[in-house]
């Protein structure tokens, strides 16, 4: 939007919160993708988290072109604290998070707002899918294509639908109600999965919508937070542990499944980090629950080793995923249709069981909220004599 352009005041304001630490390499591209949104009613808050490069200067230059951009500067306290600072400083009815090295498709915010239009405030957020991109904005592969909508806590605990911190738009009131992002992970040296922690606390209390389109370019490169594989694995396990402790009503089946799937994720992360101690500890934990996973892993590892020895190309769809060479993620990109993941009979049954769990949890939550609402109304009523009315429960 040009500096003299205005937007319809009836449109709800969306606050874009961008935490930035030494982000000078990508921040201009990230801001450009935010300012070129087809939904113009935005305020863009960049929280410079104690950068030592010229991130702040670049943001100031962009703010001179687009007055919707605002810079806040804080000491370095981590991405969670930076996001919380942005939420507290925001004025929008909605908050959308954008990492300082990621990109948005121009229609992302418009489609998310459209998706929430007509839904009650119980629907607190909406997410989109993503592509993984490199330093040059070129698409490496599509992200996961699993989707779910409604009350999805048990399913999200297992399948982690949202995928990254730049995919979510949330009602500001809901973000504040659940306490924002938890900075204790970074303080404990296991930061990186705070997004998942925030999403699970949101999903445990609210309903979530989805726009099944790849509208985020999620950047992967050596040196960014997601490249600290050991930290990501440890963080994910701790997030699941805390979420289960906070939701003891979750059936044992769903809880056990979530721990097992996260252990496998952590195992892969520890291997990428070449951390032998954590890899062996994770493998032992998996072996107790699913020995076939370890046997399959050893078998496939041996096959890959043999192929390398024979100088054969040893890349599979599982290793790298579909490659979309030389296609850039920018405003010119043509979005491809989303194909659902391949399913087995076992995985379909697993998903159906978790879906039924979410339906039960949703019903229990709706009933509890209905009772609480009635109690609140009753306690607030005033008897004719001026005293608070008494009610029998």
Residue range 202-254, pLDDT digits in tens: 999 999 999 999 999 999 988 665 668 999 999 999 999 999 999 999 999 99
Q: Tokens in use for 337?
A: 């249709």
Cα gap 322→342, rounded to integer Å: 14
Q: Which residue has the higher pLDDT, 311 or 306?
A: 306
Contact 46, 23 (CB under 8 A): no
Q: Tokens 């949330």 correspond to what residue?
A: 170
Domain ranges of the chain: 228-312+351-364
pLDDT tens, position by position, 53-77: 999 999 999 999 999 999 999 999 9
Residue range 2-22: average pLDDT?
A: 81
Cα 340 to Cα 153, 161, 203, 218, 324: the distances in Å are: 20, 13, 22, 20, 18
- What is residue 4's three-state secondary structure? coil
What mean pLDDT do residues 272-292 have? 88
Cα distance from N-terminal residue to C-terminal residue, the chain: 56
pLDDT tens column, 333-355: 877 778 777 788 988 999 999 99
Between 326 and 360, name the one with better pLDDT. 360
Q: Is residue 188 over pLDDT 50? A: yes
- Across the range 69-94, mean pLDDT stands at 97
Of 326 and 216, more confident: 216
Model confidence at 295, in pLDDT bands (50, 70, 90)?
A: confident
Q: Give the pLDDT confidence score for residue 104 in this predicted structure.
A: 97
Contacts of 290 (CB under 8 A, 6+ apart): 260, 264
Query: Residue 369's pLDDT is what?
Result: 74
**pTM to 2 decimals?**
0.86
Locate 88 and state its tokens. 């507290």
pLDDT confidence bin for 302, thresholds 50/70/90:
confident
Give the pLDDT mean for 20-38: 97
Strand ranges (E), the chain:
14-20, 42-49, 69-74, 94-97, 103-104, 123-133, 139-142, 168-171, 207-219
| Least confident segment among 88-92, 183-187, 341-345 | 341-345
Q: What is the pLDDT of residue 314?
A: 47
Q: What pLDDT, in 10s, does the model give residues 124-181?
A: 999 999 999 999 999 999 999 999 999 999 999 999 999 899 999 999 999 999 999 9
Confidence grade of residue 377 (pLDDT, cut at 50, 70, 90): low
| Range in 6-10, 104-108, 280-284, 327-331 with the lowest mean pLDDT | 6-10
Distance CA 185, CA 178 (A): 16
Q: In 3-state terms, the chain is what percent helix, strand and coil (to 5)?
A: 45, 15, 35
pLDDT for res 305: 77
> Both tokens of residue 271?
């291997």
Instruction: Give the residue-averaged pLDDT of 298-318.
Output: 67
By three-state DSSP, how is residue 91 classified?
Answer: coil
Q: Is the predicted pLDDT of residue 303 greater than 80, yes or no?
A: no
- pLDDT bin (cut points 50, 70, 90) of residue 93 is very high
pLDDT value at position 129?
96
pLDDT tops 70 at residue 310:
yes
Say if residue 11's pLDDT is above 80: yes
Q: How confident is the model at residue 365 (pLDDT cuts 50, 70, 90)?
A: confident
Q: Is the pLDDT of residue 381 over 60?
A: no
DSSP-based three-state secondary structure for 215: strand
CA count, 13 A, side-chain hemisphere, 66: 24
pLDDT (mean) for 280-291:
86
**Mean pLDDT lowest for which of 21-25, 124-128, 296-300?**
296-300
Based on its alpha-carbon atoms, the radius of gyration of the chain, rounded to whole angstroms, reads 23
Asked if 346 and 290 count as a contact pair (C-beta separation under 8 A), the reply is: no
**pLDDT of residue 384 exceeding 50:** no
């Amino acid at each position: 939007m040009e500096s003299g352009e205005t937007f319809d005041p009836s449109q709800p304001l969306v606050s874009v919160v961008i935490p930035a630490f030494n982000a000078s390499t990508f921040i201009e591209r990230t801001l450009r993708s935010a300012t070129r949104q087809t939904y113009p009613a935005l305020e863009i808050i960049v929280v410079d988290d104690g950068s030592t490069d010229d991130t702040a200067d670049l943001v100031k230059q962009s703010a001179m072109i687009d007055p919707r951009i605002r810079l806040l500067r804080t000491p370095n306290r981590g991405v969670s604290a930076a996001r919380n600072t942005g939420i507290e400083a925001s004025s929008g009815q909605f908050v959308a998070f954008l990492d300082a090295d990621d990109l948005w498709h121009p229609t992302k915010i418009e489609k998310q707002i459209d998706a929430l239009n007509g839904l009650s405030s119980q629907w607190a957020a909406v997410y989109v899918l993503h592509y993984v991109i490199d330093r040059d904005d070129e698409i490496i592969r599509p992200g996961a294509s699993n989707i779910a909508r409604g009350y999805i806590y048990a399913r999200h605990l297992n399948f982690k639908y949202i995928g990254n911190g730049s995919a979510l738009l949330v009602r500001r009131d809901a973000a504040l109600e659940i306490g924002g992002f938890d900075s204790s992970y970074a303080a404990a040296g296991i930061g990186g999965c705070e997004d998942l922690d925030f999403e699970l606390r949101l999903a445990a209390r609210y309903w979530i919508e989805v726009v099944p389109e790849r509208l985020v370019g999620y950047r992967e490169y050596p040196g960014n937070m997601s490249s600290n594989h050991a930290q990501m694995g440890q963080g994910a396990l701790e997030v699941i542990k805390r979420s289960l402790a906070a939701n003891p009503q979750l059936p044992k089946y769903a809880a056990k499944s979530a721990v097992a799937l996260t252990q496998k994720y952590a195992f892969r992360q520890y291997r990428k980090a070449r951390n032998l101690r954590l890899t062996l500890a994770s493998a032992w934990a998996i072996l107790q629950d699913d020995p076939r996973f370890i046997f399959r892993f050893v078998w496939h590892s041996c096959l890959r080793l043999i192929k390398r020895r024979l100088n054969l190309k040893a890349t599979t769809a599982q290793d790298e995923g579909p490659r979309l060479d030389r296609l850039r993620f920018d405003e010119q990109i043509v979005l491809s249709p989303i194909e659902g993941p391949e399913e087995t009979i076992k995985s379909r049954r697993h998903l159906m069981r978790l879906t039924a769990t979410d339906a039960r949890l949703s019903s229990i939550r709706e009933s509890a909220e209905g009772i609480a609402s009635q109690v609140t109304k009753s306690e607030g009523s005033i008897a004719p004599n001026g005293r608070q009315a008494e009610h029998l429960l």
